[in-house]
Amino acid sequence: MELKNHKLECETCVSHLKGIFCELSHDQLSPITNQKVTNIYKKGQSLFVEGNHPNGIFCISTGNIKLTEQGNDGKETLIRIVTKGDILGHRSLFSEQSYHATATAMEDTRACFIDKSFIIGLIKEQPSVALKVIEKLSKDMGAAEHRLNSMHTRNVRERLAELLLLLKESHGVDEGTRTKIDLRLTREEMSTMIGTAPETLIRFISEFKEAGLIEQEGKTIFVKDEGKLLEWTGCQL
Amino acid sequence: MQTQKFTNATKLHHMGMVPIVAYLIIKGQLEIKDRKGNEDKVLPGEMIGLKEVWHHQPLDFDIDTTPGTTLLPLDKSTLARFKEVLAEF
């Protein structure tokens, strides 16, 4: 579906009820619609680059964005995937630090930019927005701590099982007997998310397929047995 | 408003997008390229993206910084404040 690059009314955005502005009324949303900058980023285009300076936050309407960090060896690690309803750039903005990662569109993605002065004024006027941002930051921190713990305490098989369950939850499309993970990730990207080599990842994906936990059609993975995947994570999620 | 220093060359803007901020060049230069591949530079004291930010219009250039460039970003809120102040004169 081709997205049209016209300014999107916040109230009619498909992700309106998932984002930080979900509790604002029509009158409170109108100034945001007037102020924001809406763009459609094609696959591979960056919203911001690691090391650059934040000027505001991005609110994702549709599509998926990958956040990547470059290591000293020049290799990129995919640290997080941001999807519709999420906000981006808030951490760097409020900590007044440079972007710690590069944000790149994984497909045609519509994102709205709201500048720093406006968002800070909005937060002062609308406590619900502040609370939603705090909630978002808290959840991000929790997820980061959990991931750090997983890297230390779980083996590769368990980390892969956990990743597949997380992707199923965030990007799963129910197809009756199986759930499609509606996200195009390369094997290299998946392997960096669980801290392993692509060859090891491929080996474990084959093992998961043989065990009936997942199916694969091209690059798309389908979760078949969620219960068994949960067992293979090594603990309850 | 705070100036921003860029130690590396980096992509600031993709051709055809609405710019999220306008830029005043303080030091260094921006390299711009249009759809036909024509290249140009934006030098200290010059600005780019002002009209497009204000009117939510696409800017038809790819924009990259050069190492050692210092910019002053001007977002829509800042431009609105300028307009209010100038209206008083």
Q: Are B63 and B31 in contact (CB under 8 A)?
A: yes
Query: Do both A119 and A194 map to the same domain?
Result: no
Residue position matching structure tokens 């499609």: A180
Core vs surface per residue B24-54: b (16+ CB within 10 A) or e: bbeebbbbbeeeeeeeeebeeeeebbbebbe
CA distance A163 to A14: 26
Query: Do both A32 and A75 map to the same domain?
Result: yes
Can you spell out the DSSP letters for A58-69?
EEEEESEEEEEE
Query: Do both A85 and A46 map to the same domain?
Result: yes
Query: Do both A16 and A130 map to the same domain?
Result: yes
CATH label of the domain that carries residue A101: 2.60.120.10
Query: Do both A147 and A183 map to the same domain?
Result: no
Q: Last residue of a domain, which of A151, A180, A195?
A: A151
> Which residues of A fall within a CB distance of 8 Å from B67?
none
Note the pLDDT tens digit of each residue in B27-81: 999 999 999 999 999 999 999 999 999 999 999 999 999 999 999 999 999 999 9
Note the pLDDT tens digit of each residue in A36-69: 999 999 999 999 999 999 999 999 999 999 999 9
Q: Last residue of a domain, which of A94, A124, A151?
A: A151
Residue A107 scores a pLDDT above 50: yes
> Which residues of B fall within a CB distance of 8 Å from A41?
14, 17
Contact A35 B18 (CB under 8 A): no
Residue A11 scores a pLDDT above 50: yes
Q: Last residue of a domain, which of A97, A128, A151?
A: A151
* pLDDT band of A201, cuts 50, 70, 90: very high
Of residues A7 and A153, the one with the higher pLDDT is A153
Residue A85 scores a pLDDT above 50: yes
Contact A52 B18 (CB under 8 A): no
Note the pLDDT tens digit of each residue in A117-154: 999 999 898 888 888 888 888 988 998 899 899 888 99
Q: Rounded to a whole number, what is the largest CA-CA distance in chain A?
A: 56
Contact A39 B77 (CB under 8 A): no
Q: Hey, what are A84's tokens?
A: 């519709």
Of A5, A35, A53, the CB nearest to B76: A35
Of A38, A51, A118, the CB nearest to B77: A118
| Average pLDDT, integer, range A104-110 | 95
Interface size A-B, in CB pairs within 8 Å, comes to 53
* pLDDT band of A224, cuts 50, 70, 90: very high
A43 found inside a domain:
yes
A237 found inside a domain:
no
Residue A80 scores a pLDDT above 80: yes
> Which residues of B fall within a CB distance of 8 Å from A97?
none
A132 found inside a domain:
yes
What are the Cα distances from residue A184, in Å, to A64, A66, A193, A219, B55? Answer: 9, 11, 14, 7, 35
A222 found inside a domain:
yes
Contact B56 A37 (CB under 8 A): yes
| Average pLDDT, integer, range A205-209 | 96
Contact A115 B14 (CB under 8 A): no
A1 found inside a domain:
no
Contact A55 B6 (CB under 8 A): no
Q: How would you list the strands of the sheet with A46-48, edge to edge?
A: A46-48, A102-105, A64-70, A76-83
CA distance A128 to A166: 28
Mean pLDDT over the full length of chain A: 89
Note the pLDDT tens digit of each residue in B1-34: 789 999 989 999 999 999 999 999 999 999 999 9
Distance (Å) from the alpha carbon of B39 to chain A's nearest alpha carbon: 20
Best to test chain B binding among A53, A93, A96 (most B CBs inside 10 Å): A53
B5: three-class secondary structure by DSSP: strand
Q: Hey, what are B56's tokens?
A: 């939510």
Q: Are A57 and A123 in contact (CB under 8 A)?
A: no
CATH label of the domain that carries residue A179: 1.10.10.10
**B interface with A, Cβ–Cβ below 8 Å:** 4, 6-8, 10-11, 14, 17-21, 53, 56, 58, 73, 75-78
Residue A7 scores a pLDDT above 90: no
ipTM: 0.89
Domains with residue ranges and CATH for chain B? 4-87 (2.60.120.10)
Spatial CA neighbour of B42 closest among B57, B59, B54, B56: B59
Contact A41 B17 (CB under 8 A): yes
Residue A10 scores a pLDDT above 60: yes
Percent over 90 (pLDDT), chain A: 59
Cα-based angle A229, A232, A233 (whole degrees, multiple of 5): 95
* pLDDT band of A6, cuts 50, 70, 90: low
CA distance A38 to A22: 18
Of B10, B11, B21, the CB nearest to A55: B21
Residues 6+ positions from A229 with CB-CB distance below 8 Å: A161, A164, A165, A208, A213, A214, A223
CA distance B59 to A125: 32
Containing domain of residue A44, as a range? 10-151
- How many distinct structural domains can be found in chain A? 2
Residue position matching structure tokens 């591979």: A44
Query: Do both A180 and A215 map to the same domain?
Result: yes
Amino acid letter, residue A124: K
Query: Do both A20 and A128 map to the same domain?
Result: yes
Best to test chain A binding among B5, B8, B56, B57 (most A CBs inside 10 Å): B56
Query: Do both A26 and A125 map to the same domain?
Result: yes
Query: Do both A144 and A160 map to the same domain?
Result: no
Q: B1 to chain A: nearest residue by CA?
A: A117
Query: Do both A213 and A113 map to the same domain?
Result: no
pLDDT at A3: 56
Query: Do both A129 and A67 map to the same domain?
Result: yes
Positive or negative: CA dihedral B62, B66, A91, A106 = positive
